[in-house]
Homo-oligomer: A and B are copies of this chain.
Amino acid sequence: MIAILDATCPLRQKAEVVRFVEQRGLRVQVSELETRTLVGILGGGDEALAAELRALPGVREVRTVAPPYPLVSREHHPSATVVRVGDVEIGGDEVVVMAGPCAVEDEAQILRIARAVAASGARLLRGGAFKPRSSPYSFQGLGQEGLELLAAARAETGLAVVTEVVAPEDVELVARYADVLQVGARNMQNFRLLSAVGAQPRAVLLKRGLMATIEELLMAAEYVSSAGNPRVILCERGIRTFESATRNTLDVSAVPVLKEKTHLPVIVDPSHAAGRRELVPALARAAVAAGADGLIVEAHHAPETAASDGRQSLTLEAFDALMRDLARLAAALDRRMPRAAGITSGS
């Protein structure tokens, strides 16, 4: 249930609404939006409570059912949200590219890749330390050691770090090292994890589940936001369909649809959608042309020996070439990409 208050209503009235709900044993989430203040009543509330709330001063409206994602909806927040990570702005004019290996393997690997993608114009370094794997017998990541290596690569290159967190009990650890916490596709409806990343201050990269509708992605974002963290970046990464020529089917339409429905930034992962590096540049270009605010791309200096997902990782040379193509494309779309030094034969 959501109570909607005028943004101009006096603080005393807002406090009274909160006190009123909490006295009834319910928790609230207060969100100050541009034109309204929303008081979300978490996990319940009946029609009788709604009627009482409607009678309080300052309460403009109480909704017991819709909208399902009031905080992330564009309805009360028409302007786009820009998520700032260091000096990078995600959701603004710049097309922000995050790049790196699927998994952190060792210090030499992550440093080499970080230097190269930075030189090509990437702004964040991706790399998995905790890997969710379909089989218990597969490589599960380096864990804390991987996080330390990512932090070392950040120290050297200046790239911010985005890495996945797979369980609520790891959130504090991962947040100590990472700038952006990624919630992976398989965990998009792990509601405890969503609440945990919502209760800490780092930005959150929320990937769409491969079986999730756009509505469900927005409701997952609402979990994060309603737990107190509005810094959510959405990521389309391909959905599961009958077509087997690609690993997943990139739902490029999700970009304009999300842009209509939410004020949050939207990026695309062309690597997991494609499943084969040959297709990644075309999908990356399509995503930017469709209006994506950024990309997250797998790149590796030796994809054929990568610990996981090598088949879909770009070589560093191919990544550099892609970045040059994207810069031209971005300009034709009135968006910016950073001027890159480019990689050289030594990198």
- Interface window among A5-13, A52-60, A243-251: A243-251
State which of B43, B168, B214, B328 has its C-beta within 8 Å of the C-beta of A243.
Answer: B214
User: Are A44 and B246 closer than 8 Å at their CB atoms?
Assistant: no
A76: CB under 8 A from chain B? no
Interface residues of A in 199-221 (CB under 8 A from B): 209-216, 219-220
Contact between B244 and A244, CB atoms less than 8 A apart: yes
- Report A25-65 residues with CB < 8 Å from chain B CB: 40-44
Picked from B211, B223, B226, the residue with its CB within 8 Å of the CB of A210 is B211
Cβ of A287 under 8 Å from chain B:
yes
Alpha-carbon separation in the docked complex, A209 to B252 (Å) = 19
Taking CB atoms, residues of chain B closer than 8 Å to A332 are: 328-329, 331-332
Q: Mark A320-347, 1 if CB is under 8 A from B, else 0.
A: 0000000011011100000000000000
List chain B residues, Cβ under 8 A from A302.
none
Known A211-B210, A253-B274: A136·B246 in contact at CB below 8 Å: no
> How many Å from the CB of A3 to the closest CB on chain B?
11
Bound Cα distance A133, B282 (Å)? 32
Give the contacting residue for A40; candidates B136, B192, B240, B244; CB below 8 A: B136
Contacts of A229 in B (CB 8 A): none
- Of residues A134, A215, A289, which shows the largest number of chain B Cβ atoms within 10 Å of its Cβ? A289
**Chain B, Cβ-Cβ closest to A223:** B136
Apart from A245-B257, A286-B287, 14 more pairs, CB < 8 Å: A2-B137, A42-B136, A132-B189, A134-B219, A209-B211, A245-B254, A250-B252, A252-B283, A252-B286, A253-B274, A253-B282, A256-B282, A331-B332, A332-B332
9 A-B residue pairs with Cβ-Cβ distance under 8 Å, sorted by A, are: A43-B139, A136-B222, A213-B242, A249-B251, A252-B282, A255-B286, A256-B283, A286-B286, A331-B332
